[in-house]
Amino acid sequence: MMGHYIALSLLAVLGLGMIFIFYLTVKGRTIERRFVFLYIVFTVSLPLFVKMKPPIQVSPEVQQVVETITSLSPGAKVLISCDFDPPSAPELQPMLVAFTKYALKHDLKLIFMGLWPLGPSQANRGLRLALADTIIAAKNLTYGVDYVNLGFQSGNEFVIQAMGGSFKSMFPQDDRRIPYDSIPLLNGVVNYRQIDLVMNFSAGKPGTIEWIQNAVDRYQVKLSAGNTAVQAPQVYPYLRAGQVRGLMGGMSGAAEFELALNEKGKASSFILSQMFSHLAVMLFVIVGNVAWLMTRKKK
Amino acid sequence: MKREIPLIITFSVGVLLILSVFIPPTEHWGETFSLFFDIIAVFAFFLGGGNLVRTHISKLSGKKAGWVYSAVTLAAFFFMLAAGLFKIANIGGIGAPVTENGSLFQESFNYVMNPLGATMYALLAFFIASASYRAFRAKNREATILLVAAFIILLGRTPLGVAVTSWIPDSWDIFQIPNMAIWIMNSPNLAGQRAILIGIGLGVASMSLRVILGIERTYLGEDKG
Amino acid sequence: MVSTANQGDRRCATNLIRLLLVTFAVLLTFLHNRALADNSAVDTSSVVSASITPLAPPTSLVVSDHVYDNAERLDLVWVPSIDDKLIASKLIEYRVYRITDSGDGQRIAVLPAGANSFSDENVESGHQYSYYITSVGADSEFPSISSEPIEPEREWLNYHLISLLLICMIIGVAITYFIETARRGKKLFIRRIAGLEAIDDAVGRATEMGRPILFIPGIQDMDDVGTVAGVTILGRVCRVVAEFDTKISVPTSRSLVMTAARETIKTAYQTAGRPDKYSDDMSNYITDEQFGYVAAVNGIMVREKPATCFYMGTFYAESLLLAETGNSVGAIQIAGTSNPMQIPFFVVACDFTLIGEELFAASAYLSSEPKQLGSLKGQDLGKAIALTAITIGVIAATGSSAWHIGWMQDILNALESIFLTR
Amino acid sequence: MSTEFGVWVAALMTIGLFSFLYKDNPFFKVCEAVFIGSSTGYWAVVYFFDNLQKKLWEGIFPPDGAVGDAWLWGGAILGILMLCRLSNKIGWIARWPVSFIVGATAGLYMINYFVSSAMMQVASTMQSLVVTNGGGIDWQATIGSVVVAVAVVSGLIYFFFSKEHTGAFGGVAKVGIWFLMITFGASFGYTVMSRMSLLIGRMDYLFGDWLGMIR
């Protein structure tokens, strides 16, 4: 309840600021860029200190991801390609963490890899967080048996193609330099045929589209994806064509995913901040336009 | 001679690579090219990197305006270069790759380059706000359409949009903003992207043909040299 | 098509339709024949041997050469063992064994229960291969009958892509045809592209104000078509710049682009008759790092205050960072990119924006050489083909799915097999 | 508050770049210089190990003693020709590798773009206008597919270069540009979310990782 009041007073403060900006603009004194910047600093950072659960609805695309994941039976092998770097982490890392937590709780076997140089270290970061979870820690999972990180391989979509022949050809050893053949989890894993699902967290190229073109189209791989909000619209055509099973887009996609899997994480707290900043952007558009229309009429 | 050889190279390489797609034994030529490209790019880097170093050294030695920053640039460059090439304080010793976590090279990347990149990227948020305030005007019909579409998506993809139109009964759920946003993404947006993509496919084909046939050669010079 | 169509256009349209009809007829026949051939090749036998052994081996193993490859793949299909059950299966896995040139059997793969196909991608032409597959239980293994020896074949033309080859040829020939007619002096109409018309003014403005021009050829390397397009436009812009004798600066994020840009600028200055005004300092490499490059370019903008900024090439997130900073220093901005995600930012923050295809057409448009313009006409023919195919395809799809008209389904299938090349 | 040296460096760099928003200043210039220098150095090292050592050297002389790929010499020679640029006299030879790359890019992408951009998109547009669900017509989906068909067709017409946008043709082209504008608007709206997320990530770093004010 307390949270609500704080949020409301925050809204009031930011609202008053916006009214002031509006007043100045209508008066014909277009405010300087720097004030817009300052306003955004407050809008983004203040809500981070507020604890409140915003109302979110799980969209069908995210629901499809969840259904794809929940339909996997224990022991199913999932290949997770982390094709992003730290700048995109605010959006994609929460998805990765929520997925990893869910998967490890439900005894899925996880094989991480990355087509971006920094992807595997994001995976390690996510794994560390997931393994610290009390339920997962109690399971005493071992590296190489329950999860493994194959590391990064350069070559973009050619890596995806070559993996259709054999994983080992692209990853002779894993991230910890253990030879492919001596990793128990990978025993019998030759190529995509032994993989039940590919999860792709993608911030650009190579990413989901390359996975679709080279793994889904060629090797009939089952693919679900999480994308940055920017990347997501480009994947929509493929979603509609059924080439990708579900899509999480941006931070709201991550928050919906956390909600649907019941794995509360960072996205759930970031989303409030995001909501405020969106509101600010929309208000800036409105203020700019109203002021512009009014001054035009005067002329 | 000087003039013809590049044109012949462009023509023959282009034609060969087009044909290679259709001939199974030569299918992998595209991959070989990307390997070639990576190798050529390294040699080109000697030119680019060398140019960078030369420019800053000349600024520094001439004490031109901003020479301090040139000094910083050079220092950062050689620091990274040394940390990487000589594997200074490398976690796995001289035999291990430099990108291992904990090595000086990788840690410099993690704590210097990474935050710099992420921050530069984050500046976009501010610029979006200022562009919204300054340039996003419904000046004409096209701009208005763009504005309205952007607005619906913005609203619809956030919890706010859910709250605004949740009173609309389920039989008319298409008019709930989140659903409208999804519809826009799936129908007109998808179609618009398709039209653009088809155009790009043809545009690229036509430009490639001009390049291969040697009609377009501004990048080489139809010079007298 | 339209009331304004003149004689030439109409003749062109008639020719086009004729060409299309012939192509479609050829393709339809071809595809029909291929479909017949495919049907007869399908193995439909599903005879399961009545086995009394504890674990039945897989049956009906068929090994076939993978078509249209470089003799590097053989495809295996079989009918799973009757003991391969979803629940409480005694069968644990299948093992694939290969006999090369009647040597010994070698295990090449282990597949989970339920598998019924495998591709051996480690074969070479000039060798005979035969295979057998075993059902593996907890402590037993039962082999199937060995397949007939087969040698992988090398094909010299990928018939899966034949429709692509045909369409490419049609469009290629069309573009070349229009280039030729244009060269022979036929006048071609090309509509106005506002962003490109504005280039002269934009350069002129910079000259008047005595401030430099900034040209950003994208952030990708020369192996990206967008960059190639950007560099060709740079050549055209530089010619104007050389005539006006304005200062131009082309910071690049790749060394190769710097080399190509310098070459291009030099040529432009030579063509404009001002080779003495050229200097290598016009294009400098900054850094490969996307945002490092942006930080530097933003710095350049704030310090040098260019009067005009061009952004032509492949852009990602930096589009708005550049365009807003450019705007804040009061520059006229002309942008062009093929990345649909970044176009809106340029549309909002720049004065003129080239959308997708316009970027690739820009250099031809600016050259105003007839042969270059001819290629644009060829592009339009491509669009006409696409439009026709879409129209027929949509009608056929509607007819077949809503009213179940058989021949419409055939047309749709034919069209899809032409355009879906994978 | 963090006691880690690296976190402090990162936080200061973050603030330094943010200061550009106020105005160009020495703090920003230093950060910019560090960024340019270190990233160029970084890429030099990555290129050295990945391309020169791994792809070229180990490709020609594989460490396991296998037969190397003799083709790679071609890449090496083209690369060395590139260095002719350093000389004024034979600088023109550097055009050879450039023309090689441009020719190959043109050839390779001509087909790639053509297939994945043009042909695939044409094929996937061939959908039924009328969508049925269990007997009745699904009006919502039907309207959607009609819009898709109309938008693709009119959008393509907008891109026609050799025809004046007048009369009925111009009318359709106009509809086309409207649809393109919807596409741009949608992309813009969608992108805003992501960009705000980045800023949230940075703020989380400053207030959380560095200052420890958010848990």
Does the pTM surpass 0.90? The reply is: no
pLDDT of residue C52 exceeding 70: no
D201/A250 touch (CB, cutoff 8 Å), yes or no: no
C285/B49 touch (CB, cutoff 8 Å), yes or no: yes
pLDDT class for B86, splitting at 50, 70, 90?
A: confident
Q: How close, in Å, is residue C349 to chain B by CA atoms?
A: 6
C317 assigned to some structural domain: yes
Query: What does the alpha-carbon distance between residue B212 and residue C228 come to, in Å, rounded to a whole number?
Result: 12
Q: Which of B44-58, C38-52, D53-67 has the lowest mean pLDDT?
A: C38-52
Per-residue confidence (pLDDT) for residue C37, from 0 to 100: 46
Closest CA to D202 of B121, A16, C165, C345: B121
Q: How close, in Å, is residue D81 to chain A by CA atoms?
A: 25
Say yes or no: C218 and C340 in one domain.
yes
Tens-place pLDDT, residues B33-47: 888 999 999 999 999
Instruction: Give the strand order in the sheet containing C93-100.
Output: C105-112, C93-100, C129-136, C141-143
Residue D134 Cα distances to B18, C180, C396, D70, angstroms: 47, 55, 21, 62
pLDDT class for A3, splitting at 50, 70, 90?
A: low
Tens-place pLDDT, residues B187-200: 999 999 999 999 99
Strand pairing partners for C83? Answer: none
Query: What does the alpha-carbon distance between residue A234 and residue A208 come to, in Å, rounded to a whole number?
Result: 9
Between chain B and chain D, the number of residue pairs with CB atoms below 8 A apart is 394
Amino acid at B74: L
CB C51 within 8 A of CB C57: yes
pLDDT class for C21, splitting at 50, 70, 90?
A: low
pLDDT of residue D215 exceeding 70: no
Query: What does the alpha-carbon distance between residue C258 and residue D81 come to, in Å, rounded to a whole number?
Result: 16
Partners of residue B124 in chain D, C-beta under 8 Å: 195, 198-199
Per-residue confidence (pLDDT) for residue C32, from 0 to 100: 53
Domain tally, chain C = 2
Partners of residue C319 in chain B, C-beta under 8 Å: none
Query: What does the alpha-carbon distance between residue B208 and residue C378 come to, in Å, rounded to a whole number?
Result: 13
Residue A244 Cα distances to A77, A253, B138, B191, C351, angstroms: 18, 15, 37, 18, 38
Element (H, E) at C143: strand C141-143
- The DSSP code sequence of C158-197 is -GGGHHHHHHHHHHHHHHHHHHHHHHTT--------HHHH
Per-residue confidence (pLDDT) for residue B221, from 0 to 100: 59
Partners of residue C190 in chain D, C-beta under 8 Å: 161-162
Q: For residue C242, what are the domain limits?
A: 199-350
pLDDT class for C322, splitting at 50, 70, 90?
A: very high
Interhelix angle D72-82/D95-113, rounded to 10 degrees, is 130
pLDDT of residue C28 exceeding 90: no
Per-residue confidence (pLDDT) for residue C6, from 0 to 100: 46
Q: How close, in Å, is residue B191 to chain C by CA atoms?
A: 12
B47/C258 touch (CB, cutoff 8 Å), yes or no: yes
Q: Average model confidence (pLDDT) for chain D?
A: 90
Element (H, E) at A191: none
> Greater confidence, C301 or C143?
C301
Q: Which residues contact C281 (CB under 8 A, 6 or more apart)?
A: none
The percent of residues above 90 in pLDDT, for chain B, comes to 48
- The two structure tokens encoding residue B144: 């208005």
D107/B208 touch (CB, cutoff 8 Å), yes or no: yes
C420 touches chain D (CB under 8 A): yes
Amino acid at C202: A
C385 assigned to some structural domain: no
Query: What does the alpha-carbon distance between residue C281 and residue C294 come to, in Å, rounded to a whole number?
Result: 19
Nearest to D124 among A45, A228, A237 (CB): A237
CB C399 within 8 A of CB B222: no
Q: What is the mean pLDDT of residues B200-224?
A: 82
B202/C171 touch (CB, cutoff 8 Å), yes or no: yes
DSSP D50: I
pLDDT of residue A160 exceeding 50: yes
Q: Which of A2-6, B77-81, D149-153 has the lowest mean pLDDT?
A: A2-6
Query: What does the alpha-carbon distance between residue A80 and residue A100 come to, in Å, rounded to a whole number?
Result: 9
**Tokens 């994978």 found at:** C422
Q: Which residues contact B146 (CB under 8 A, 6 or more apart)?
A: C344, C347, C348, D181, D182, D184, D185, D188
C225 assigned to some structural domain: yes
CB A249 within 8 A of CB A70: no
Tens-place pLDDT, residues D136-192: 888 888 999 999 999 999 999 999 998 888 899 999 999 999 999 999 999 888 788
B159/A37 touch (CB, cutoff 8 Å), yes or no: no
Whether the upstream peptide bond of residue C54 has omega within 30° of 0, thus cis, is: no
CB B158 within 8 A of CB A274: yes
Residues of D with CB under 8 A from a CB of A: 21-22, 50, 116, 121, 124, 186-187, 190-194, 196-201, 203-204, 207-208, 213-214
Per-residue confidence (pLDDT) for residue C115, from 0 to 100: 77
CATH classification at residue C288: 3.40.50
Closest CA to B218 of A40, A10, D98: D98
Tens-place pLDDT, residues A125-150: 899 889 988 899 999 999 999 999 99
CB C133 within 8 A of CB C94: yes
pLDDT of residue A168 exceeding 70: yes
CATH classification at residue C71: 2.60.40.10
Per-residue confidence (pLDDT) for residue C412, from 0 to 100: 92
Residue of B29, B104, B119 for testing the chain D interface, max D β-carbons within 10 Å = B119
Query: What does the alpha-carbon distance between residue A274 and residue D194 come to, in Å, rounded to a whole number?
Result: 9
Q: How close, in Å, is residue D57 to chain A by CA atoms?
A: 16
Say yes or no: C212 and C339 in one domain.
yes
Query: What does the alpha-carbon distance between residue C83 and residue C91 come to, in Å, rounded to a whole number?
Result: 6
pLDDT class for C349, splitting at 50, 70, 90?
A: very high
C226 assigned to some structural domain: yes
C100 assigned to some structural domain: yes
Residue A286 Cα distances to A26, A280, B128, B136, angstroms: 12, 10, 14, 9
Say yes or no: C132 and C207 in one domain.
no
- Long-range contacts of A9-17, Cβ-Cβ distance < 8 Å, separation of 24 or more: A10/A46, A10/A47, A10/A50, A10/A276, A11/A276, A14/A39, A14/A42, A14/A43, A14/A46, A14/A276, A14/A280, A17/A42
pLDDT class for A54, splitting at 50, 70, 90?
A: low
The percent of residues above 90 in pLDDT, for chain A, comes to 40
pLDDT class for C327, splitting at 50, 70, 90?
A: very high
Query: What does the alpha-carbon distance between residue A155 and residue D12 come to, in Å, rounded to a whole number?
Result: 35
Query: What does the alpha-carbon distance between residue A214 and residue A199 come to, in Å, rounded to a whole number?
Result: 14
pLDDT of residue C404 exceeding 70: yes
**Tokens 């490209």 found at:** B37
pLDDT class for C44, splitting at 50, 70, 90?
A: very low
CA D87 to chain centre: 34
CA-nearest residue to C317 within chain D is D195
C23 assigned to some structural domain: no
pLDDT of residue A1 exceeding 60: no
CB C146 within 8 A of CB D92: no
Query: What does the alpha-carbon distance between residue B211 and residue B1 come to, in Å, rounded to a whole number?
Result: 19
Partners of residue B75 in chain D, C-beta under 8 Å: 37
Q: What is the CA radius of gyration of chain B?
A: 27
C266/B221 touch (CB, cutoff 8 Å), yes or no: yes
- The two structure tokens encoding residue C328: 């804040």
Length of chain B: 225
Amino acid at C418: I
Tens-place pLDDT, residues C106-116: 888 777 677 78
Partners of residue D210 in chain B, C-beta under 8 Å: none
Q: E-assigned strands of A162-237?
A: 197-202, 223-227
Does ipTM come in above 0.90?
A: no
Q: E-assigned strands of D20-175?
A: 132-133, 136-137
C16 assigned to some structural domain: no
Tens-place pLDDT, residues D71-96: 899 999 999 999 998 888 888 888 89
pLDDT class for C142, splitting at 50, 70, 90?
A: confident
Query: What does the alpha-carbon distance between residue D182 and residue B188 come to, in Å, rounded to a whole number?
Result: 7
Partners of residue D187 in chain A, C-beta under 8 Å: 230, 233
Tens-place pLDDT, residues B92-149: 677 777 776 678 888 898 889 989 998 999 999 999 999 999 888 888 999 999 999 9
C267 assigned to some structural domain: yes
CA A277 to chain centre: 19
Q: Which of C47-56, C389-398, C401-410, D6-15 has the lowest mean pLDDT?
A: C47-56
Q: Where are the domains of chain D?
A: 128-215
CA A93 to chain centre: 6
